[in-house]
Amino acid sequence: MNYLAHILLSGDDKELRIGNFIADSVRGKDFSRFPNRMAQGITVHRMIDTFTDSHPIVSLSKNLIRPQYGLWSSVIIDLYYDHFLAANWADYHHQGLELFTLEFYNDLKEYWDVLPPRIKRFYPIMVQNNWIYSYRTVEGMSRILEQMDQRTRHKSKMSLASIELKTHYQELESHFKQFYSQLQVFAKDAIAKTPLD
- DSSP string computed for 15-70: HHHHHHHHGGG--SS--TTS-HHHHHHHHHHHHHHHHHHT-HHHHHHHHHHHHHHG
Q: What local confidence, expressed as pLDDT, does residue 1 receive?
A: 63
Residue 64 backbone class (left: φ over 0; alpha: ψ -120 to 50; beta: rest): alpha
Task: Convert the pLDDT of each residue in 93-119 to its tens digit.
Answer: 999 999 999 999 999 999 999 999 999
What percentage of the chain has pLDDT greater than the value 70?
98
Task: Convert the pLDDT of each residue in 37-57 to its tens digit.
Answer: 999 999 999 999 999 999 999
What's the pLDDT band for 151 if we cut at 50, 70, 90?
confident
Would you say residue 197 has pLDDT above 70? Answer: no
**Rounded Cα–Cα distance for residues 181 and 47 (Å):** 16
**Which residues, at least 6 apart from 14, have a Cβ–Cβ distance to it below 8 Å?**
107, 110
